[in-house]
Structure 1
Amino acid sequence: MHPLSTASATSFLFTLLLFFHLTASFPSNGASNLSNCNQNFSCGDLTNITYPFTGGLRPSHCGPPEFHLGCSDNLMTTTLTVNSRPYRVTQVNQTSQTLRLSLLGLYDDSPCIYPFNTTTFDNSSFSLVPDHSTLSLFYGCKNLDDADMANFKFSCPSPAYSEGFFMIGDPVPGPPSMEKCQTSFQVPFLRSGAQQLRDKGSSLLVEVLKEGFDVSYRNPYSADCQKCYKHSGGQCGFDGKPICICNDQLCHGK
């Protein structure tokens, strides 16, 4: 076998380097899989939802993973997971970049939510809107005989947490009976329902919890997305980092 000439070796190395460059340029899911980012997400009453959200007909490469929406209950219920906790999504406003969320597990007309966790939004993508109030819910209470609490008591089907009560606002030192509760947590709700909840007490609690609360969202890659639109006319995508998609594959150029 004759050794490669200098010119042939140079040509071979150039071809090899070009191959590695092109291979590295494609996202991990392959160039042939960058389709359908022109599709919208729709589920139940929520329709025509676009970037940065993914889910349904919009594959995961069409947006950042924190904005993935699920569709369940016979394609009627939209869900979003924030800080490892799933929420029901009832409204999406992509103009104001806000969502209305509520706790899952409330749709059997019970204020008893398992497991018990305080609802927090402390990441860079989602934050509570300022116009909200806080509900403090107490479970597994005993001997709630304080007359002032009668309007705010409720019952749970679980024997371990059979009796509970709520108060509007963060927990503050209260009646001795509060110390007899096994656990408590806080959840935001729309401030517009606070007075009605004070007037009607626990009879309105499930309705207020179902109404949910509003959060704003921010896509941390929006600047990259605008560059994609402006310079390539492409669609924004994501593969561990922002990518720009043209005709179902990576756009040419930076």
Structure 2
Amino acid sequence: MELLPPLLGNDPESPFPPAESALREPDGLLAIGGDLSATRLLNAYANGIFPWYSEGQPLLWWSPDPRTVFATDGVRLSSRFRRRLRGCDWTVVADHDFDAVLLACARAPRAGQHGTWITDAMRAAYCRLHRLGHAHSIEVRDGEGRLAGGLYGVAVGRMFFGESMFSARSGGSKVALAALAHVLRGWDWPLIDAQVENPHLVSLGAASWPRARFLAEVRRLAVLPGRPGSWTDAFGRLPVAALGGVSGAPQPRPA
């Protein structure tokens, strides 16, 4: 019989148990309790750990094995989808409206799920991280400036931890992911964490890594110089039509 995971203390600077000690069943459950302070969240991500729980549950912390990741040079878009993008007037920007992306992710329907794990407390916590320059939104805007899709996640060092994505228009989330990967590749950031495998992520090029390999890379990348603060200017405006190119997209234009 599996033991219950340890309870976290009240001090947000107290260390997590080693991620390698997470339960096998349910896969990756590491600890219970604590809080969603910025200090605790950044410590969690830097050690390959993330929070995931539903309304009414205690706060749960996870580090599953295997771990789903994207190489920033390995996101795949089908030839048919790329052809469609070549005539598209959408653009991709970052950190223009983090709150709107977070809310859209919370409201997006998910197959086999009722309600959302992005609770009010989670939204407040990630908005705090965004204001501190550690959480970022990637926003796909249509020709009239409306959100067509997007994603948000947390950056620690040169590691990006994806949290959730949504589509308001067909393909919006795929465009957000491809644009993020393109820009991060140009910044020499090699990986995007996608947490847990599903068929959609695999179709876009996600791979499953043993937890030990993932943790080693996170611990290496998390201590490298990153890009804290707003990404609005650094990310610029990336024309979605450029993502349809066979030989790679050009660098994004400054905002």
TM-score of the two chains, using structure 2 as the length reference: 0.24
TM-score of the two chains, using structure 1 as the length reference: 0.24
